[in-house]
Structures are given as structure tokens and as C-alpha cells.
With several copies, the nearest count.
Chain A
């Protein structure tokens, strides 16, 4: 088997954080892969909710969009989207929410709206989607965000979703009910909030990566936990399951669809 890619390392690390039976609000991309990998390995009874309204879905291949037919077909049931947000997310019935972002700061606040100014953006990103309320209401969130020169920044161009605000209890004072970003999974390792300051700290590194690498990847003076673990490399079982899932997915998405003429 070839060595794990950074995407695979991140996906496996995220999947391991999900306990069996937990209720996950799943986004497209790596979070969707991580949640389904967990379901196919150690967490068969995990409950996956996609914001399209599919509850308890068990897709055989990963969806390209948040609303692929596969999600509805394999769901326990399908509800209108407004109810996903009011009856499940806002009601506090989601254990884990996944978020991604173009930018993240040291308190786990996220930007997926614009690079540059809002009124005259250099780059217009897709926007908020479900993120602001996932960030507020999921009992905890996991953020998956690769390090690029512009992703781990000292100051966000725009705050789309709040993590710990400016730290030291700001989140608790804000009225947000969930505990916020409890893990940030990057391609160098894992950050977790300090219990008192709520600033993200480096708590684990992938094999072969150093603290100096991690520090170089982020745009602020990265705080290091007292103890920094090494993430255990993916097991063969994890890699087999993930690669099979990705292979099935690639094949399914490539398959020509009959145009309904």
C-alpha cells in the first residue's frame, strides 16, 4: 500500500474522534469522508445528518453534493431543510458538527465568506451556508483545514463562524450553546483549545512532522501543549476502508449519467 496522503491522514484522524452512536452534522468533502469512514470502521451506529434534510443516512459512496440521491435513498427519513436547522441543530440535538474554512485564527474563528473587504472582495468565497449555526449549536465542532500560506492567519478578513471569539470565556458570554471547536485537524497535526485561554494549542503532530513545521505553517505564534503526541499512523484496516470508499466514489461520480431526453 502506498503511503497515506495528507488528506488520508486528516480523514483518519477525524474519523477516530467520532464515537459510535454520536449524531454528526456532516459537510461535504473531508468531513463526509471522515464520518463515513468512522461508520464503516469503529462506529457503525453513528448517525449522519446532511443539511439537505437526510437523517441517519448510510451512503455506499460519498456524495459529490450535499443532496445527492444516494443520501435520500439510504436515509432513515428525509425532512424539509428548515426543520434540520430548527428541530435538530438549533434544538441542541447534534453532538458533533464539522466545519471547514478558507481562514482560521488562533481562537478557531472561521472565514468562508471573502478574502479582502466584504464590499470589494479580492476573492468571493461561497459564503456561510450552515456554518454559523453549526458553530453555535453543535455540542462540539471539529474543524478540518489544511495549512496554506493564507489559511492559518493572525486576523480573519471576515468572521463567518465564531469559535472562541477573542478567548477567555468570550464564547460562553456570547450565548452560543455548544462548546465550540474542540479539535482542529490540519495536515500537520491537531490543535485543541487551551482550557483557560481557549487559544488553540498544538497537541499532536502527524508522523515525521515537527513543531517547527507546524509553527511555520501558521500565521501566529503557535502555542504548544505541555505534551505533544504523535498521531498513530492509519492502520491497514482504516486505509483499506478509506481507499475502497474513495475508489467506489470516484467510479460512481465518473459513471456517465443518461441525459433524460
Chain B
């Protein structure tokens, strides 16, 4: 691990997330690295190429705060609730800044992450058949099977400059263990140049893993202890998803002014995840 356990989240974001970088804060509903996203907003990062299968509230916030110039994604909604209003505003009205989109299906983006993790230049799938996406995205092409002549869909590998994950625990060497729904996190981690992980707890020794999901310390750039770092998403075994918050987000983010006020109060004027959480507890949003 290049930076050890000594960094705060603020220091880690400052060191590893540069303006203009391609950044994947992965998490499929579970273990979404909210705290890291908030810190990126606090540090006013700009021109990021955000990557994520399911940009949800944290990307809605980052896009609404003007951090992003481009989004690679496969489904951009508030799960079970509806639209991501800030994402829509950026795509429909270029507010606060224009947002270029690189749009895929889940299967396509999963293949692209897998290719990235394996350092192959492209991934392939039987996908996008008779749909309009390939006509609008030059990053969806075809490849011919050299044995059967069949044509398959091809997508370029995704290799983020930085992948940021949240996990349940790390040991002192920096090995990371996560369990529960893992989405494409492991592939996004292995595909990245730099891997930054926030964790619920740091332990002397991880529980015996055998075939469990572990990211070894030598692929991790830094681990930051950040309890509650996935809230309002969840950390299986630690705390539950705040579905009510996800539902409330629909009205918080619907209008620019209300969104701005909420971000000011709960993110920009809080210093870290602890203060963020306290600000929500004090007066439910």
C-alpha cells in the first residue's frame, strides 16, 4: 500500500483525485462511497470524468455542484424513486456546466470493467442487438469471431485513473474485505491506476476469507477509516440503507435553489463525514 493508513480522507482526495481525472466511485446500491464524493465536492474538483454503472445520489450531487465534464454510465436514476434531477438538468440544460455522456447498458459496462481489470483493450458481449445506442455512441462497435464469423458487440476497456470504494473492513496491512452485494466494485478496483478505499473499521486481522472477496494491500493506494462513509447507502452488517432519504432526495434535488441550499448546509459547511451525519441528525433534511 503506497500511502498506508495515515491519511485523512481530505488528504487522500487531495493527493489522489486531480482535476480532469477519470474517477469511478463504484457501488451498486450497496457500499456507495458517499463520504469520498462529498470530500471531492468540498475540494471543488472540476472537469472530472465520472464513471459508474448507476450514478445515483452522490453523482447527482457531484454533477449538480459542477465537478464533472463527462459521465460514463448505464442507468442514471434514483432507484425505485425516479429521476436524478441534477443529472437531468445537466443533460437537458447544461446546468451548471455541460455534461458529455458515454452511455452503455449494464452488460456492456460490466464487460468494459472486466476488460479493464484484465488489461485487455476491449470487452465483448452479445449485446445492444437492434437498439439505437450504438448509433449514438462510437464507443460501441463490433468484433468478428475468428472461428465462427459471428459479430459481437465490443466496448473499450474502462481503466479509471482512480477508483474509490467503500468497504466493511481493512486490516493494518491494507487488505480490504467486503461482502454482500458487490456490483462491479472488484473489477473497477482492479482496473484502476489508483485505488482509494474508505472502510467502516480497521482490524488487526481480517476474518478468514477463503473464497470471499478480498482486495490485497498491494493493489490499494490508501485506506481511510471512515465509519458511516456509505450513508445514505449502506454497509451490510453495519447499517441499513436509508430508503426514506432516497425518497426525500427527489424533492431536495428537484429545484436548483433547494439543492444548492442543501449542499451548502450539509456538505460545503461540514468538514467531514462525521459532521455531515451530525448535520442530518440535528435537523432531518
A residues near B, CB below 8 A? 21, 23, 28-29, 47, 51-56, 63-69, 71-72, 76-82, 85-87, 89-93, 109, 113, 118-119, 121-133, 136-137, 158-162, 165, 170-171, 174-177, 252-261
Contact = CB atoms under 8 A, between A and B. Distances in A.
Nearest to B77: A126
Contacts of A136: 126-127, 129
28 contacts: A23-B218, A28-B80, A64-B81, A65-B79, A69-B240, A69-B241, A77-B213, A80-B182, A80-B184, A86-B125, A87-B117, A90-B119, A124-B88, A124-B91, A126-B83, A128-B74, A129-B54, A129-B75, A129-B105, A132-B127, A132-B128, A136-B129, A159-B132, A160-B131, A165-B130, A174-B130, A176-B129, A257-B241
Contacts of A165: 130
Interface stretch (B43-51, B106-114, B252-260): B106-114
B261 interface: no
Contacts of A72: 30, 180-181, 210, 236
A171 B227 CA distance: 49
Contacts of B180: 69, 72, 78
Contacts of B77: 125-127
The 4 A-B pairs with the shortest beta carbon distances in the complex, nearest first, are A67-B29, A126-B77, A65-B79, A129-B75
A127 B103 contact: yes
A175 B30 contact: no
Interface of B: 28-30, 53-54, 73-77, 79-81, 83-84, 87-88, 91-92, 103-107, 110-111, 113-114, 117-120, 125-133, 136, 150-151, 175, 180-184, 186-187, 190, 206, 209-214, 216, 218-219, 227-228, 231-232, 234-236, 238-247, 274, 277-278, 280-281
A82 B110 contact: yes
Nearest to B87: A124
Contact of B228 (A47, A64, A177, A259): A259
A81 B180 CA distance: 12
A109 B130 CA distance: 10
B236 A130 contact: no
A55 B213 CA distance: 12
Given A124-B88, A256-B244, A76 B131 contact: no
B117 A132 contact: no
Of A21, A128, A257, A258, which is in contact with the most chain B CB atoms at under 10 Å from its CB? A128
Contacts of A261: 228, 274, 277-278, 281
Given A259-B277, A261-B278, A64 B243 contact: yes
A90 B157 CA distance: 14
A56 B208 CA distance: 13
Most A Cβ at <10 Å: residue of B128, B228, B243: B243
Given A90-B119, A124-B76, A255-B244, 8 more contacts: A67-B183, A81-B184, A82-B184, A85-B111, A90-B126, A126-B75, A253-B243, A257-B239
Given A52-B28, A91-B119, A124-B88, A76 B216 contact: yes
A51 to B, nearest CB: 6
Contacts, number: 251
A202 B92 CA distance: 36
B181 A54 contact: yes
Q: Which of A51, A158, A162 has the most CB of B within 10 A?
A: A51
A82 B113 contact: yes
Given A86-B118, A87-B118, A93 B106 contact: no
Contact of B181 (A64, A67, A91, A176): A67
Contact of A65 (B83, B243, B278): B243
Contacts of B136: 118-119
A69 B243 CA distance: 11
Given A71-B181, A80-B186, A133 B214 contact: no
Contacts of A90: 107, 118-120, 125-127
B117 A68 contact: no
Nearest to B210: A78
B104 A128 contact: yes
A24 to B, nearest CB: 11
Contacts of A93: 218-219
A32 to B, nearest CB: 9
Given A136-B127, A136-B129, A66 B29 contact: yes
A220 B187 CA distance: 45
A133 B125 contact: yes
A95 B157 CA distance: 23
Contacts of B181: 52-54, 67, 69, 71-72, 78
A51 B182 CA distance: 11
B242 A257 contact: yes
A259 B231 contact: yes
A249 to B, nearest CB: 10
Contacts of A258: 239
B74 A65 contact: no
Given A63-B80, A69-B180, A159-B131, A52 B29 contact: yes
